[in-house]
Amino acid sequence: MSDNPIVFIDSGVGGLPYLKMARENMPNENFVYVADNKNFPYGEKSTKELKKLIIDLIEKIIKKIDPKLVVIACNTASVVALSTLREKFGIPFVGVVPAIKPAGEYVVNGTIGLLATTKTVTDPYTDDLINQFASSCKVEKFAGIDLVDFVENKFLTSTEKEKMEVVFQASKYFENLKIDALVLGCTHFVYLKDYFKKSISKNVDIIDSVEGVCQQITRIINKETVKLDSSLIDISESNKTGLFYITGNQFVISKYQNFSKEFRLTWGGKL
Residues 74 and 10 sit within 8 Å (Cβ to Cβ): yes
Which candidate in 61, 65, 103, 186 is catalytic? 186
> What is the C-alpha separation between 4 and 134, in angstroms, rounded?
38
Q: Is there a catalytic annotation at residue 137? A: no
Q: Is there a catalytic annotation at residue 186? A: yes
Which candidate in 6, 58, 74, 183 is catalytic? 74
> What is the C-alpha separation between 74 and 249, in angstroms, rounded?
21
> What is the C-alpha separation between 15 and 234, in angstroms, rounded?
25
Name the DSSP class of 225: S
What's the start-to-end Cα distance of the chain, in Å? Answer: 21
DSSP strand pairing (266-270 vs 181-184) = unpaired
Residues 100 and 133 sit within 8 Å (Cβ to Cβ): yes
Three-state SS at 51? helix
Residues taking part in catalysis: 74, 186
